[in-house]
Amino acid sequence: MCRLLIISIIFSLAGIIPGLTANGQAPLSELPLPKLETRLADIDRDLDHLVRYSLRSGIGSIGHRSIVHANSKHREWVQIMLGDGARFDEVVLVPVISHDNKLGLRSDGFPAEFRIFAGNNTDTNGAVLATFTAADKLLPRIAPVVIPCPSTTASWIRVEATTLSPRSFDGRCELELSEIFVFDGPDNIALHRPVQVSSADGAPNWPRHPSRVVDGFTPYLMHSAQGASSIAYLSPTLAKGLPVSLTIDLGIPCPLNRIHLHAIDVDDVIPQSHSYDFSLPDHLVIEGANRSDFSDAVPLTTFRSLSPFDRGPLIMLRFPETECRYVRLTVLDICKTPVDNPGSPELGFSEIEIFSKSGNVALHKQVTASIRSNEDKNRSLSHLTDGANFFGRILPLRDWMEQLARRHDLEGERVLVARELTRRYERQKVIVQRLSWLAALLLAGLAFTILIDRLLRIREVARIKERLAADLHDEIGANLHTIAMLSDLADDTRGTPDEHSLFLRRIRAMTEQSDTAVRHFADLLNTNGLYTALAADMRRASERIMSRFEQDVMIEGEEHLLTLKAGTGFDLFLFYKECLVNIIRHSGATRFSTRLKATDRELQLTVTDNGRGLAGNGPPRIPPSLKRRAKIMGAKLAVESPAGGGTRIMLTLRTRRWWRS
């Protein structure tokens, strides 16, 4: 019992590892796309090499069914008596399969939640080998459920349903199982063992009965899809009442304990022309011997069919281990009548397997018959031991069940992997569409940026041209006008050497200043050394240009003028000079005043004269040269006519923006 407890703990711990799928891999949502694609290819490759689902037709044994309940919360169990200390390592539960009018083929009455117990004759409770709940997602299925039980020894094994599932046709709940296999290696030790149940719905001669759960009949046909196909052996017409025998020479004596008789594969068309048990005997005696004349024959087992429920595609017979070289199958009663030749019985098998501890020892062994050989070479005696049926190679029973279960798991996983791949592909499609739109937007943005850049460059060129024109007009034009005026004054004072020399020096200074300004026009931002002392330059310009005028120049906040950018001071000085030149040229004034007030945020320049004012109806017209320079500086410009006559020009320039405070 300690071994059973250890196994119970192992199965309990098997379901508590979080974050992994059933096959130990990371969740599909966390796998990268290449691994998902590789996994799908691996699944398809594995499915190509696994057995196929091929289901029986006709009449036959169904299995065990409990009594019916109104709901699923009822306890039902099936217990198989294995004898004294039987060893096993795997349990396989085969479901009863039915047609669901919505879902198609599905298991019928397979438990939604159940436990597997095993114990000895002295232990009525036993130990839990495995527990399955709805979280294990065993349903829906038509495949068997394979339950490993490493190295377990027990006298009985019990399948206990704790939550039943509804049957398909009326929704009422019951426990149904087609077959229970208990494997010790390749040997099914549960075959034809006594069965106890909590309740049963069926009589011994019915298709449903507790004994049917260990009769070896399943809903499946052996369809391995591996190896070459083989056509079953079919004897010539038999005479009624005459015994017929088949003898297999194993070559050497072997300890035998089991024989499998594979029914003939009737047709490859749908529907079939004969029943699945076509040419199977009703009464068959199997003997073993070590002498070819069977003088030392010993009976091994007997097969007797009393109803269609005693026959199936694979008839498995167990017997006590007996060492034999020769095995003879004697037909005592055969009454199968072919549809196309009534009254002429025939004998046929797809394969005969005889098992020793090492497996099927009859494979490719010689077979002889007590009747004349069949003239049809496609149905020769050699086909009885060639290891194949109509669908391909015949597999060991355990491998067959495990591959069916494996197919179920892989097909379920394939659906999930394909769904995840579809989701990823759809997401990639959306991403590609978004990237395409983004690329289009980027191209459009690039084209727009190039266009805007080109427009800005054109605007910058225009601005430079405008500034250059303004600078040439305001600086060079004013200087040339001043030089001309000084030249006139110098000419008038030729008789006064001191004044004449003063005017000549001023002319030279203005010439040098003009030369410096012209050299800096090539780089409008490079005004270093030009008009850096704005207040002094403005006073000096007033004296030179307006030497014959009465003037009043007042500058407040000179310390703030020192913080102006060089370009700003340059533009302000040129604006001021242009105001002075306009007074000389157009106003006819005799006096003017200048007021410059600078603070840390703005400066205000006001130039007023007593001339004739700006002509025209309506508000005074701002001279274009002053408007252009104010625009370059980004300043506000206003012109008005004072009450006493003349013109007043007011310039307001913010030197510090509020968001930079």
Of 534, 641, 648, 653, whose CA–CA distance to 593 is shortest? 648
| CATH architecture label of 525-661 | 2-Layer Sandwich (3.30)
With H, G, I as helix, E, B as strand and everything else as coil, classify residue 587. Answer: helix
How is residue 237 written in tokens?
């017409």
pLDDT at 239: 66
Q: Domain limits of the chain?
A: 58-220, 227-394, 525-661
For residues 494 and 500, the answer to whether their CB atoms sit within 8 Å is yes
| Residues 6 or more apart in contact with residue 280 via CB below 8 angstroms | 261, 263, 264, 305, 311, 315, 336, 348
Residues 6+ apart with CB under 8 A from 137: none
Neighbours of 343 (CB within 10 A): 8
Indicate the helix (H) or strand (E) that contains 452: helix 397-471
Q: Tokens 């206990």 identify what position?
A: 160
Are 379 and 232 in contact, with CB atoms under 8 Å apart?
yes
The count of other CB atoms within 10 Å of the CB of residue 538 is 23
Ranges of the chain whose pLDDT falls below 70: 1-25, 239-241, 266-268, 273-276, 335-344, 373-377, 460-461, 463-478, 481, 485-486, 489, 491, 512-532, 615-619, 657-661
Question: Nearest 5°: phi and psi at 208?
Answer: -115, 125
Return the SS3 of 105: strand
pLDDT confidence of residue 9: 37
Q: Is 310 left (phi over 0), alpha (psi -120 to 50) or beta?
A: alpha
3-class secondary structure, 407: helix
With CA atoms as reference, report the closest residue to 173 among 78, 69, 65, 63: 69
Q: Are 363 and 394 in contact (CB under 8 A)?
A: no
Domains 227-394 and 525-661 share a fold: no
Extract the tokens encoding 149.
Answer: 């039980």
| Per-residue buried b or exposed e for 396-413, using 16+ beta carbons within 10 Å of the residue's own CB | bbbebbbbbbbbbebeeb
Give the C-alpha separation, 312 to 59, whole Å: 9
The Cα 176–Cα 89 span in angstroms is 23
- Which residues are within 8 A (CB) of 68 and not within 5 positions of it... i.e. 6 or more apart? 167, 172, 173, 174, 201
The residue assigned the tokens 């590789």 is 38
Give the Cα separation of 53 and 96 in Å (integer): 14
Q: Residue 90 has what pLDDT? A: 97
**CATH code of the domain made up of 227-394:** 2.60.120.260
Are the C-beta atoms of residues 407 and 372 closer than 8 Å to each other?
no
Cα separation of 215 and 40, whole Å?
Answer: 38
Which sign does the torsion angle of CA 585, 588, 592, 594 carry? negative
Encoding tokens for residue 416? 């999930």
Chain Cα centroid distance, residue 561: 69
3-state secondary structure of 440: helix
164 and 198 Cβ atoms separated by less than 8 Å: no
Neighbours of 219 (CB within 10 A): 25
Nearest Cα residue to 471 out of 567, 565, 382, 361: 567
Q: Cβ contacts of residue 32 below 8 Å, gap of 6+?
A: none
State the greatest distance between any 2 C-alpha atoms of the chain, in Å, as a whole number.
Answer: 172
CA distance 122 to 315: 34
Q: Is 339 left (phi over 0), alpha (psi -120 to 50) or beta?
A: alpha
Degrees to nearest 5, angle at CA 137 with 132 and 140: 115
- The residues facing 261 across adjacent strands are 315, 352
CATH number of 58-220: 2.60.120.260
Report the run of H or E that residue 165 belongs to, with start and end.
strand 165-166
Judge contact between 604 and 652, C-beta under 8 A.
Answer: yes
What's the pLDDT at 340? 47
Q: What's the CA gap between 64 and 78, in Å, rounded?
A: 9
CA–CA gap between residue 375 and residue 380 (Å, rounded): 8
Q: Which amino acid is at 7?
A: I
Collapse the DSSP code of 546 into the 3-class scheme (helix H, G, I; strand E, B; otherwise coil) and give the result: coil
CB 564 within 8 A of CB 521: no
The pTM (predicted TM-score) of the whole model is 0.67
